[in-house]
Chains A and B, each alone.
Chain A
Amino acid sequence: MKIDNSMPDRLYQFVLRHGLWVEGALLVVMFTIWLALRPSLLQQAPALSAHVISLRQDLTAIEEEKSRLQQFTLVRPDRVQWLTRDMHLHLRQLKKGVRQVGLADVSQTLTMLQARLEDLFGTFNSALREHAIVVDSYYTLPILGEQCELDLRKHSAIPATLHPHDIYTALLLLPLRKDLSAEKIRAVMPSIDKAKAALPSDSEACSRFISHAQTFLHHFSQLRHQMDTLNLDAARQLIIRLDTQLQHHIAQAQYHQHLVTITLGGLGGVMAFFILFMLILLNRTVKRLRAQKRELIHTSRLYRALSDINEVIVSEQDERQLLEQALTILVNDLQIPAGVITCCPDENNVLTTVAIHAQQPLAHQLLEQIRFDITPDTGNATATMLPAWKEGEIRALRNIDTHPRLARWRPLLQRFQIQHVITVPLVDGNGNSRYLLTLYLSTDEYAGPATLQLLREVREDLELALHRLHLLEKQRQQAAQLRLAEVAFNAHEGIVIASEEGRIERANETLLKWCGLDLNHMADETLPALFVEQSVIQHVMQELPHSGYWQGELSLRHVDGTPIPALTTLTWVPPSQETDRTGHYIAHCLNLSRQRQLEHELRSIQQRDPITGLPNHKALIDQLNTIMEQIMPRGECGIISIINIRGFKSINTALGHQGGDALLRQLAERLRERPAFPHLTARSSNDEFLLVPIHFFSSQDAARQWWERKYAEVLGMLSEPYDINGQPVQVEYYASAMLFDHDLPAERIVDEIETGIQLARQHGQGVTQLYFHTPGASASSRPDREITLRHQLEQALDKGELLLFHQPIYNTMERRYSLTEALIRWKREDTLVSPGEFIPVMERYPQLMTRVGRWVLRQGVADAARINRDHARPVSVSINLSAVQFNDSELIHILRDSLARHALPPDRLTLEITESALMTDLGRTRALLAALRELGVHVAIDDFGTGYASLQYLQLFQPDKLKLDKSFIDPIDPQDRRTLAIPEATVAMAHALGAKVVAEGVETAEQAAALSAIGCELLQGYHFARPMPLDELLDFLKRTETQ
């Protein structure tokens, strides 16, 4: 771990790493120095000593030779020479060595020694010489002596003095004498001289003998002399001295060396120690610095974490986000393995994990799966989380990876190197724990006091932040409420708050806007002044504290004087002790001007048909009135026509309402635009349009002629296919036209034409029919009549003025009357109202129709029951069902109910439905027929042949009976077979379908016979019977039974 990369640090690093080697190198250097300082004497000391030893040895060897010299044994001069040479060599080396080292005394000694040795060797050499001669004569003397003796013997007498034997014996004994001295030797010489004198001169042997003797003696004496001089002691002494000196010097040198060694060693030691000490110190310093640096980094990380958290606290507005980010910061900045935030223990003491952050994804995943349970003793998070939560204090636990209680966590902890855990509770203002921030730490340093301190600060900051956020939230809510209040205040009501005295304190924007005022104006205004009805307000205000509340319609005053209708509510707010000292009036005003406007608009709408935009029924009447009054000349007539869309309901169903509306719009468009004459148009009802050409005629014929021309154009134009959603739609019309003059008011005219188209529809008049209806055809004021009639009908139902007549129907098979048709009759004030009169009216009002229809059903069933009770043989009753009743949801129910009530077998009841009615809405038809079938009630198709029913639908309907329309019966001529064709075919078809046929309007016997012949089972008509009241029917049936 580098502190930094500066030079001292790098140097230090180098020293640290190579410290020991540097040490070693230094020591070696010192050793070198030591060696260099080492005196060369010591280097040479061994060699020198060796030389000295050799000298000694050589000297000893020479001593040996010297001793040999003393004896008459063979001396080895060669040995001596080589020893000598050896000693010379040693000396020379010593001299050289000593000279190098500069030991003067030793040098001197050496010189002396050398001199001494020179002497010695010189002497030795001389001694050798003498010795050689001596030894030679020594061994020759006896021989020569003998020879001399012999010679002497030859000569006769041997002088007494001369006995060679004695001489040479004496001579020979010389070397053996230990006490020999030079004198003694010299003492022998005279005797030899004497002997020589005494010897005969011609004896060669003797003279040789004497010569040898003399030589021997001489040289022996010389030898003795040499030997005496041959003193090795001095040399030895010198050598010893040499040795001593040398040793002394060596010792000194060694001593010096030791000193140097010690000094250097000491120095070196000191140096080494110093270096070591320095290194240790440096190491410590570095360690300390490193620790400091680490601490610094550590601390800076801690504070960075703190600063980051505070940043987040400042910027984050969401509590959850804040906590998550705080956790992330702590985990990342401190580089700890993981952290988790928990809160809200449930009833099982299991904490909810709010946030997790971990450095390793695996740890993250694992933490996600852990549920922290702070149940005391048994929970898995009781180490720190439980106490932290309970006590609201930071809890830390160290070395949890070796903690015995947390053994179950150990593998996990060790895996992620978690060693310590700290839990920081975040408490609210009341000291209750809200969150637990738990950190899992890995290194010791992070579990130390600095970290705890940081966490304390973090905790404080987070708690403050949470508190602040909480307050902010409250503030926000309050602000929202205030805003709402503000909005409410500035709602569409005008609100004024006035003081007890009536002085306006506050008025909202709305009021100001309405009255065209601004706040400055309001400063001195009183509440009543706002209104037109000032006195009313004042009166109310006086009364209000008692009554508390008043509401009424007043008019606010606009600055420009316009009165603004306002529904005003005045409220008195009594003073409250905590807030206001005085009471206040509050006026709420609902601006009614808009409402009025809307009403006006509505009224105007009411003049127009919303879908097509054409004037409506009422508008047309107004317009027509206007035209008649202002344009139409007196005495002339005009034309009004009505166009009714055929089967608009089915078209609407087919196209959908949007399609239907589109169609209407297109139609209206055509009507409005296309006719090439000025005209009024209106949509008078759902599927009816009015067209009034603004063209007046002096005579009816002229009008008729003009109209016939124009009408075809109009209808042709209207009949062109419409394009609805890309589909071409063909429309057919009922149409009617009427002439009018000033006799009738516009209202009546419109009413008449509308009635007229109804009649046209009823009669089912073909595809397009031009129908002129002369005005005044109906004497009574139709609209009024109709309304009266309707009303009367309603009442008739209630009063029971309606009754059923029955028309018996003859059964050709059974040859009796087995069926009757029930027909509705109205007995009003003892006169029967013509069905033609009231039935159409009835049919125009579906509700009325339904009611009547229901009554008819019930009554019919009741009558049928009565008939069957009264009569032995079964009689069915047939009731007409109008298309309107298809929509009656109660229909089946009523039927079932009635049948049940009267216990009438359902097959005694037949419901007659017109073919066209059946075809109008096939779905409904099918449903109805199914229901009826289920009931068991029979179904008869009325006016068969006049409707659209195809044979396919006949099969679908499965009718029980088919009623042939009168129009097919009338033309029957027995003579003309052709007239029977359709009836015959119908009968055949009906039989194929399994239905019976009822022929309507049979008026002659021939018709009856013919019909019977072709197989028509049931015959109905005036030929057989007329509709009669029930009593009469019963009698009739009784009568005809017997026939």
Chain B
Amino acid sequence: MKIANLIDLFRILGLLLLSLSTGCEQASTHQTLSERMAASHSRFNAFMRELTEASDQPVQPLPETVPFDKAAAKLGRALFFSPKLSANGTVSCATCHIIQQGGDDNRPVSIGIHGQKGELNAPTVLNSGFNFAQFWDGRAATLEDQALQPLINPKEMGNRSVQAVADRLNADPQWLRKFIQTFGEPASPQAIAYAIAEYERTLITPGSRFDRYLLGDRDALTPQERRGWELFRSYGCISCHQGINLGGSMFQKAGIYRPLSAHEGRWLGRYNVTHRDADRQVFKVPTLRNVADTAPYFHDGSVPTLEKAVTLMIEAQLGKQPHSQDVADIIAFLKTLSAPPKDLLHEN
């Protein structure tokens, strides 16, 4: 056979294979986003599983980096700080979740659109990607699920619907361009959620002193802090506030031995989701990382100080009588859980 013919053959075959591959592909951008999300989740999950499997300690240090969708995260950051997400353009995510200040707004409850007071204390956004659920009642399994809810909360961002937000964003050519650049399609609720979630996943605070201590640096903690860490364990705080986030991995009844807050009974917590009596006053155990920066404490933000929070916790949850020195030590320890958020976006 002539070489020319061979080349032709290869050409033909190549073309056919090409058409094959494209034919099999279902060309739909919607799927792309979902798949992208799914892929991201899978990646993150796998990462976290590995992280948790690798250690048999109840508490692990934060990883220096996490896998994330960079383009989405960039867009997410833009969205996070954009008040355009709110109905009147006054409230952004960052309004209630101030990243440089521990990831919350340091208020008992947040102030949403039109200065409305929210209902519960804003959890920190920092390291929120490591939580097993979002919201105090854990109704959002993923950050994506969480991200859209403030948008349509009449007390928070006050949009009629997320689609309205999407439309508003699409009306803006810049936002439209951003979305198209990132996802190849205009803004959609899913895209918005994913972007913000991906950004939030990047908000980690590795390198705290406690983490360094966990990683082997014995001198990262002072003796008191060490004592505090020990007391943290011996009191039994660790039984709930454990895992990579020192919390954020289980639900627990707030007020086992005695009521935790004055507004006991008002907030139903998990019951909102499961509608089981046993789940009344069951809340997600919050992360203690950066706890020193996230006053006031508890779901209703009724406890302004760590001291009081710790004392209450020990009494109500552990049924023990805390000694003030122990509390001080524990607080000293808790303070070592703070670290500034890492700029993963720029690092990568």
Contacts and interface: CB of A to CB of B under 8 A. Distances in A.
Interface of A: 17-18, 20-21, 24-25, 28-29, 31-32, 35-36, 43, 74, 76-86, 88-89, 92-93, 96, 122, 125-126, 128-129, 132-133, 135-137, 139-140, 204, 208, 211-212, 215, 219, 222
A82 B45 contact: yes
A82 B248 CA distance: 11
B263 interface: no
Contacts of A129: 250-253, 282
CB-based closest 7 A-B pairs: A81-B132, A78-B243, A136-B236, A77-B250, A78-B249, A77-B249, A132-B239
Interface in B6-65: 8-9, 12-13, 16, 19-20, 23-24, 34, 38, 41-42, 45, 48-49, 52-53, 58
Contacts of B252: 129, 132-133
B256 interface: yes
B134 to A, nearest CB: 12
A25 B41 CA distance: 42
B52 A21 contact: no
B12 A25 contact: yes
B114 interface: no
10 contacts: A25-B12, A76-B52, A81-B250, A82-B49, A86-B45, A96-B34, A128-B251, A133-B253, A212-B257, A215-B256
B66 interface: no
A84 B45 CA distance: 10
B218 interface: no
B132 A126 contact: no
Given A36-B23, A80-B249, 9 more contacts: A24-B12, A28-B16, A78-B249, A79-B53, A82-B48, A125-B251, A132-B239, A133-B253, A211-B257
B242 interface: yes
Contacts of B236: 135-136, 139-140
A215 B317 CA distance: 11
A29 B16 contact: yes
B320 interface: yes
A18 B5 CA distance: 8
Contacts of B279: 126
B215 interface: no
A88 B141 contact: yes
Contacts of B116: none
B321 interface: yes
A136 B257 contact: no
Nearest to B279: A126
Nearest to B47: A82
A21 B12 contact: yes
Given A122-B274, A129-B252, A140-B236, A32 B321 contact: no
Contacts of A80: 249
Contacts of B132: 77-78, 81-82, 84-85
B243 A32 contact: no
A89 to B, nearest CB: 6
Contacts of A211: 257, 319
B318 interface: yes
Contacts of B240: 132
B244 interface: yes
Given A78-B242, A122-B274, A136-B239, A89 B16 contact: no
B262 interface: no
B3 interface: no
Contacts of A215: 256-257, 319
B320 A77 contact: no
A132 B239 CA distance: 5
A43 B41 CA distance: 22
Contacts of A32: 16, 19-20, 23
A139 B237 CA distance: 13
A132 B252 CA distance: 9
B332 to A, nearest CB: 22
A219 to B, nearest CB: 8
A85 B141 contact: yes
Contacts of A86: 45, 49
Contacts of A77: 132, 242-243, 249-250
B216 to A, nearest CB: 21
B170 to A, nearest CB: 26
Contacts of A78: 52, 132, 242-244, 249
B239 A35 contact: no
A137 B41 CA distance: 37
B5 A21 contact: yes
Contacts of A18: 5, 8
Contacts of A25: 12, 16
A848 to B, nearest CB: 118
B320 A24 contact: no
B250 A28 contact: no
Nearest to A38: B24
Contacts of A28: 12-13, 16
A132 B250 CA distance: 10
A36 B42 CA distance: 29
Nearest to B59: A78
Contacts of A137: 319
A232 to B, nearest CB: 18
A85 B141 CA distance: 8
A248 to B, nearest CB: 24
Contacts of B320: 140, 208
Nearest to A32: B20
Contacts of B278: 126, 222
Nearest to B241: A132
A133 B45 CA distance: 28
A633 to B, nearest CB: 134
B29 to A, nearest CB: 16
Nearest to A93: B38
A182 to B, nearest CB: 15
A24 B9 contact: yes
A693 to B, nearest CB: 122
Given A29-B16, A93-B38, A136-B236, A79 B52 contact: yes
A212 B253 CA distance: 15
Nearest to A92: B38
A24 B10 CA distance: 10
B201 to A, nearest CB: 13
B317 to A, nearest CB: 8
Contacts of B253: 129, 133
Contacts of A140: 236, 318-320
A129 B253 CA distance: 7
B204 to A, nearest CB: 15
B10 to A, nearest CB: 10
Interface in B230-279: 236, 239-240, 242-244, 249-253, 256-257, 274, 276, 278-279
B250 A125 contact: yes
Nearest to A134: B239
Contacts of A24: 9, 12-13
A211 B45 CA distance: 40
Contacts of B133: 81
A93 B253 CA distance: 33
Nearest to A29: B16
Nearest to B240: A132
Nearest to A74: B58
A79 B49 CA distance: 7
Contacts of B19: 32
A83 to B, nearest CB: 7
A792 to B, nearest CB: 127
A136 B241 CA distance: 12
Nearest to B253: A129
A222 B256 CA distance: 13
Contact of A89 (B5, B24, B45): B45
A86 B142 CA distance: 12
A477 to B, nearest CB: 71
Nearest to A84: B132
Contacts of B52: 76, 78-79, 82
Contacts of B276: 122
A133 B249 contact: no
Contacts of A96: 34
